[in-house]
């Protein structure tokens, strides 16, 4: 048996029953003790008000699913302002790939301390470019040797790896003799040079050596006293 109660003149509901009241008036309240508004299987009960559209409407919301046209995450609309986040509260970034470019960085926001290397200044680059020893500037050096052995030897150059030479001038200041330039591609350059003669050689390749203890780039025959200018 279902017990229905209809009352008035109080702040309570107009109806207390498990089924919708018949022929209600607008703004009347109905309390359904058997209602399960959050859908958890427990009868928590729920209040309804009778509207001008002739329908009963819940007066409270216990579940997002009861809201019309509002999804569960609608109130978490992006973007969320970072001012409301505690430091270290977000442990995984939610930034789309490519979303941040240099246009999003404020001027001077990236300092040297934030870089993993020490970048060169313009002055340092200019000094490097004008240096005769810079790797991208062919050095200009003159090597002289008046030694008597058949192989021209320079100690600090022995066992060095092949060097790339665009060109050099071979000058012989003594009697004529033979010379050989050893190239890494086996295309050795050989010839005869007279006393006082200068031979300009366009090598455009790697010059290499014979073996340990020998001048690694050039071999001459006595009694030559050559000078090589890069």
User: Is 126 part of a structural domain of the chain?
Assistant: no
User: Is 85 part of a structural domain of the chain?
Assistant: no
Q: Give the pLDDT confidence of 60-83 residue by residue, as tens digits.
A: 776 656 566 666 566 655 666 667
Number of domains in the chain: 2
Give 54-100 as a DSSP string: S-EEES--SSGGGSTT--TTGGGPSPPPGGGSPTT---S----TT--
User: Is 133 part of a structural domain of the chain?
Assistant: no
Q: Give the pLDDT confidence of 148-206 residue by residue, as tens digits.
A: 333 333 333 344 567 788 888 887 777 788 887 877 777 778 888 888 888 888 888 88
Model pTM above 0.75 = no
Q: Give the pLDDT confidence of 16-67 residue by residue, as tens digits.
A: 999 999 999 999 999 999 988 877 888 888 999 999 999 999 887 766 565 6
Residue 96 clears pLDDT 60, i.e. is over it: yes
What's the CATH code of the domain at 161? 2.60.120
The residue range of the domain holding 2 is 1-74
User: Is 58 part of a structural domain of the chain?
Assistant: yes
Domain edge (last residue) among 58, 74, 90: 74
User: Is 200 part of a structural domain of the chain?
Assistant: yes
Residue 141 clears pLDDT 60, i.e. is over it: no
User: Is 105 part of a structural domain of the chain?
Assistant: no
User: Is 120 part of a structural domain of the chain?
Assistant: no
């Amino acid at each position: 048996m279902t017990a229905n109660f209809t009352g008035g003149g109080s702040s309570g509901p107009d109806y207390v029953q498990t089924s919708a009241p018949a022929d209600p008036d607008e703004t009347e309240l109905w309390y359904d003790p058997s209602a399960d508004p959050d859908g958890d299987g427990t009868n928590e009960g729920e209040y309804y008000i009778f509207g001008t559209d002739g329908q009963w409407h819940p007066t409270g919301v216990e579940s997002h699913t009861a809201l019309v046209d509002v999804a569960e995450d609608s109130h978490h609309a992006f973007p969320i302002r970072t001012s409301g986040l505690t430091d270290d509260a977000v442990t995984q970034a939610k930034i789309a790939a490519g979303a941040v470019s240099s246009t999003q960085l404020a001027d001077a926001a990236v300092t040297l301390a934030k870089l993993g290397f020490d970048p060169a200044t313009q002055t340092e680059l200019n000094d490097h470019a004008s240096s005769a020893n810079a790797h991208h500037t062919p050095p200009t050096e003159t090597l002289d040797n008046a030694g008597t052995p058949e192989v021209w030897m320079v100690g600090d150059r022995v066992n060095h790896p092949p060097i790339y030479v665009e060109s050099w001038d071979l000058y012989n200041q003594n009697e004529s003799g033979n010379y050989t330039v050893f190239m890494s591609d086996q295309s050795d350059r050989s010839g005869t040079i007279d006393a006082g003669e200068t031979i300009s050689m366009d090598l455009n390749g790697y010059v290499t050596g014979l073996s340990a203890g020998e001048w690694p780039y050039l071999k001459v025959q006595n009694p030559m006293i050559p000078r090589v200018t890069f």
